[in-house]
Amino acid sequence: MSTLVEDNPAKNRFEILVDDALAGFTAYVPRGEVLVLTHTEVDPGFQGKGVASALVRGALDEIRARGGRLVPQCPFVAAFVDRHPEYADLVVEQA
């Protein structure tokens, strides 16, 4: 299974492709350098396979590479950051 996480700024979301099929996305609202991650959704056919975690990890890595920060409004993203404290430095309090 090959996966690719990429930003789709036209739709304000990070998308994960699994074997070239759109498997899920994490939506965001841009606020300058801060992205408010609002919702994560994975296609039912890909659930239970670690796709959501791979998606969020890829999105957070991309945000870090850009020097950005995030607000984990999405419960899944918030729980992911709690389980992976190496990403805690990216989190800012909601304005």
Q: What is the mean pLDDT of each run of 10 residues along the chain (95 residues)?
A: 92 96 97 95 95 97 97 97 97 78
Contacts of 86 (CB under 8 A, 6+ apart): none
Pairing assessment for the beta strands 34-42 and 69-72 based on DSSP bridges = parallel
Superfamily of domain 3-90: Gcn5-related N-acetyltransferase (GNAT) (3.40.630.30)
pLDDT score for 93? 80
**Torsion angle in degrees (nearest 10) through CA of 64, 70, 75, 78:** 60
End-to-end CA distance of the chain: give it in Å, rounded.
39
pLDDT score for 92? 95
Instruction: Classify residue 40 as exposed, middle or buried by CB count within 10 Å of its CB (0-12, 13-18, 19+).
Output: buried
The residue ranges of every structural domain in the chain are 3-90
pLDDT score for 27? 98
pLDDT score for 2? 86
Cut 0.85: pTM above it:
yes
